[in-house]
Amino acid sequence: MTRTVFYGFGAYVGAIDGLTTCSWWADDPASLKWSRQALVPVDLAKNPSAVRAGTLKVDDIEVDDHRVDGGLTTIGPRWPGGSPIGQVWLSDTYWNSLGNKPDRHPASAGGDAYDYELTSILYWVGPLAGRRFYGFHAKIVNCNGPLAQVEIWSGGTARGKQPAAGTWWVDLASSAHAVDPIATQIAIGGQQEGALFLDAPTARGLMVAYVKKPPGFGADFYP
Amino acid sequence: MSRVPDAIGVRVQRVVEHKLLVGGAAELEELLGRLLRCQDADPEPPVPKTLDLIGHSTPSTSLLQLGDWVIDGMDSNVVALFHRLATNRTLPRLGVHGVRLLGCNTAETSEGRATLDSLAKTLDLDVFGSVGFLFASHYVPDGFSDDWRFLLRAAHDLHDNPSENPQRVRRLDLETLPALAVSTAARAGPYRFVTNDIARRILAVIRGDAGAAMVGPALQSDYQIAVPSLQPRHHHIIDVLLAGRFVRVYPDGHEHPGILFPVADPAALGALVDELPLT
Contact A137, A195 (CB under 8 A): yes
Contact B217 A174 (CB under 8 A): yes
Q: How confident is the model at residue A215 (pLDDT cuts 50, 70, 90)?
A: low
Taking the CA of residue B261 and the nearest CA in chain A, the distance in Å comes to 9
Q: How confident is the model at residue A216 (pLDDT cuts 50, 70, 90)?
A: low
Report how far Cα B100 is from the mean position of its chain's Cα atoms. 17
Among the partner-chain residues B161, B216, B245, the one whose CB lies closest to the CB of A145 is B245
Domain assignments of chain A as residue spans, ordered by start: 3-109, 133-206
Which pLDDT does position B150 carry in this prediction?
92
d(CA B122, CA B222): 41
Apex B93 CA angle, B114 and B111, nearest 5: 10
Count of positions (residues) in chain A: 223
Which pLDDT does position B166 carry in this prediction?
62
Contact A168 B160 (CB under 8 A): no
- At position B58, the amino acid (one-letter code) is T
Which pLDDT does position B165 carry in this prediction?
56
Q: With contacts defined as CB-CB under 8 Å, which chain A residues touch B168?
A: 166-167
Q: With an 8 Å Cβ cutoff, is A201 touching chain B?
A: yes
Give the residue on A whose Cα is nearest the Cα of B206. A144
Q: With an 8 Å Cβ cutoff, is B193 touching chain A?
A: no
pLDDT in tens, A95-132: 999 998 999 988 877 778 899 999 999 999 988 899 99
Chain B interface disruption, residue of A87, A147, A162, A177, most B CBs within 10 A: A147
Q: With an 8 Å Cβ cutoff, is A18 touching chain B?
A: no
Nearest of B82, B96, B110, B83 to residue B35 by alpha carbon: B96
Residues A60-67: what's their mean pLDDT? 96
Mean per-residue pLDDT of chain A: 90
Measure Cα distances from A148 to A189, B212, B234, B260 in Å: 10, 11, 33, 11
Report the DSSP pairing between strands B64-66 and B223-228.
Answer: unpaired
> Could you count the other beta carbons within 10 Å of the beta carbon of residue A188?
14
Taking the CA of residue A1 and the nearest CA in chain B, the distance in Å comes to 28
Lowest average pLDDT, out of A2-11, A25-34, B150-159, goes to B150-159
Residues A211-216: what's their mean pLDDT? 69
DSSP notation for B185-245: -SS---EEE--HHHHHHHHHHB-TT-BEEEESSPPPPSEEEEEE-SSTT-EEEEEEEGGGT
Among the partner-chain residues A78, A206, A210, the one whose CB lies closest to the CB of B148 is A78
Give the residue on B whose Cα is nearest the Cα of A143. B262
Taking the CA of residue A99 and the nearest CA in chain B, the distance in Å comes to 31
Taking the CA of residue A34 and the nearest CA in chain B, the distance in Å comes to 26
Contact B213 A175 (CB under 8 A): no
Domain assignments of chain B as residue spans, ordered by start: 7-158, 174-273
pTM over 0.90: no
Taking the CA of residue A207 and the nearest CA in chain B, the distance in Å comes to 6
Count of positions (residues) in chain B: 279
The size of the A-B interface in CB pairs under 8 A is 94
Contact A78 B147 (CB under 8 A): yes
Nearest of B230, B138, B235 to residue B182 by alpha carbon: B235
How is residue B45 annotated by DSSP?
A: P
d(CA A155, CA B66): 43
Chunked into runs of 10 residues, chain B (279 residues) has average pLDDT values of 80 91 94 93 91 92 92 94 95 96 92 94 95 89 94 81 66 88 63 90 94 89 91 90 94 88 94 80
Among the partner-chain residues B160, B167, B210, the one whose CB lies closest to the CB of A165 is B167
Q: Give yes or no for a cis peptide into A77 (omega within 30° of 0).
A: yes
d(CA B237, CA B248): 9
